[in-house]
Structure 1
């Protein structure tokens, strides 16, 4: 029997919102996402927690009184904990006007307050605040140098705010965000921020598209005529990618991708999240997670205490089937079996781990 108890296994709640809406499918209620997560079980193993998007209609980020207490009680009652949080920063692009950038930073501040309250309530023992540039690659490309400087300036201000609350910010590596839409632009942005509490959020579905240079062909790693059956070339490509970005990685999403892009609702095209059992998936998920979870010498980095499944833009019909979440959990368990570790459990009391 595999006794690894870390990293903790989390499910994301925001797939109930992302890609949904008036021009797509109805959102799935937060409570329903929690229930499906809590009900998943594989050989006695369950999800340990959830990562949460601080997004309407799931969450009112301004309700840090009774509302957040009810949320903490609800999650705890299902024997789950809370990890990373997504800051709702899309009202003001990080490379926008002075007022827009100030709005971005304010949303990060609100997210940090929310996260600190969850820590005080004892339900959030670890995790980061996720951000992106809230800007398109097309807008960024009009003035790459200055736009990268603006994004970095905004991120620096956000990092300084986050530091006041003991939080780290993870920049999401996704091809739909300007200045973060290729592995090189992502590195340039992170290096320009120059703050100790900034890092990278790697999502296996999104980062696979980095290899293809979808929104920035000059940064493509795999050859144009790449054959997905050529695992050795894919292996070398993943090594190049992860050696560059792994040192920055402080948050990690397990996911599958079929090598294509997808977008629904108001969400722009990005790496297609496939079901864990999708026969068209290009990744050997449990094996390939190791490129991110282990260093170049094969040693575990232990850079974060939990990993999360992010399955955005699945059809509601799929997401409402319990088997979907059982299959996802089974994949997460395999990742932990191959790349996890054991350590004595600690309890969070207020802001103190005991």
Structure 2
């Protein structure tokens, strides 16, 4: 039985949607199935505490009515879960717009954040969401950003500032997820520069995902910010030096944390751009020691547990559906999450 009670352990529901449902991709997995698989996972009497949600059809409509949200809360509560963080659908194909686009695009971006913050607050009011953030990104590609790096970063920051006003009004915080596919956020240095430009660390921060941030050290899409040597064979001392440097820069901004595994390759699926490949917790090709390396984000420079995250979430985007329908997949993931909590959590 687990000794540490915090942080609470969540499973992400969006792997049922991300990279699914578009032409040539596997079909989506509905929310009920994702909830069932999560609820059935158990390791030595320990179960998941909650779920993080993607506010997008067919899981949760961004235009959900109060009645819809009450039904959603009841459904999740019956599974014994709470809700943590929620993902705002800020991208053009989902009704949003590029954060560095024209006035209309940026207005659509902020409008989607506003709708997401309304849902997030409503779930708090319904006593189903005791913690968590609203997740965003730039909704812009790296190639487009590179046409005018300084100007585009300023545009993204301006959009994020507008979104921050909306979040503040709803008592919410926004976390920008660092992925190599989002323009202006595709390296650890560019991410810090953007957050500094926004300059509101209490409202707009960083969401770290272990699978994505590992690629930051390798300089994918931003070789100028590669931390490890060019001839690098995963030597432990070079790995630890790189992780320490990256997390020292980003940890002060980090307000949400995804546990994940990565084999240091990139993958895209369906309509999703190529980004850090999420691997199974037990993948023999995984480059991360999950239970150990989560500590780079969950402990400070002196090695002390920060207690910054009331919950942590597993993110396994773009797993094949066959893998996602196996109960052992979620039991192994839960076991990995429990070990992270034992190593870096608190009672």
C-alpha deviation, 1:255, in angstroms: 0.2
Quick one: distance in 2 between partners of 1:236 and 1:38? 38
Quick one: distance in 1 between partners of 2:294 and 2:307? 13
Task: Name the count of aligned residue pairs.
Answer: 341
Whether the 8 Å CA contact 1:64–1:117 is kept in 2: the answer is: no
Q: Give yes or no for the alignment of 1:20 onto 2:42.
A: no
Hey, what does 1:298 align to over in structure 2? 303
C-alpha deviation, 1:333, in angstroms: 0.2
SS at match of 1:127: coil
Hey, what does 1:49 align to over in structure 2? 50
C-alpha deviation, 1:59, in angstroms: 1.0
1:145-156 matched pairs, under 5 angstroms: 145-156=150-161
Give the TM-score normalised by structure 1. Answer: 0.95
Quick one: distance in 2 between partners of 1:61 and 1:182? 29
Quick one: distance in 2 between partners of 1:239 and 1:54? 34
C-alpha deviation, 1:332, in angstroms: 0.1
C-alpha deviation, 1:64, in angstroms: 2.7
Mark the runs of 5 or more structure 2 residues left unpaired by the alignment.
Answer: none
Hey, what does 2:226 align to over in structure 1? 220
Quick one: distance in 1 between partners of 2:117 and 2:20? 26
C-alpha deviation, 1:280, in angstroms: 0.1
Q: Give yes or no for the alignment of 1:3 onto 2:3.
A: yes
Quick one: distance in 2 between partners of 1:19 and 1:223? 32
Q: Give yes or no for the alignment of 1:273 onto 2:274.
A: no
Whether the 8 Å CA contact 1:86–1:129 is kept in 2: the answer is: yes
Whether the 8 Å CA contact 2:261–2:288 is kept in 1: the answer is: yes
Quick one: distance in 2 between partners of 1:304 and 1:197? 15
SS at match of 1:202: strand
Whether the 8 Å CA contact 1:51–1:85 is kept in 2: the answer is: yes
C-alpha deviation, 1:62, in angstroms: 1.1
Q: Give yes or no for the alignment of 1:254 onto 2:259.
A: yes
C-alpha deviation, 1:172, in angstroms: 0.4
C-alpha deviation, 1:209, in angstroms: 0.3
C-alpha deviation, 1:2, in angstroms: 4.1
Whether the 8 Å CA contact 2:2–2:46 is kept in 1: the answer is: no
SS at match of 2:230: coil
Quick one: distance in 1 between partners of 2:246 and 2:199? 21
SS at match of 1:88: coil
**RMSD over equivalenced CA pairs, Å:** 0.7
* Large movers: runs of 4+ above 4 Å: none
Whether the 8 Å CA contact 2:7–2:309 is kept in 1: the answer is: yes
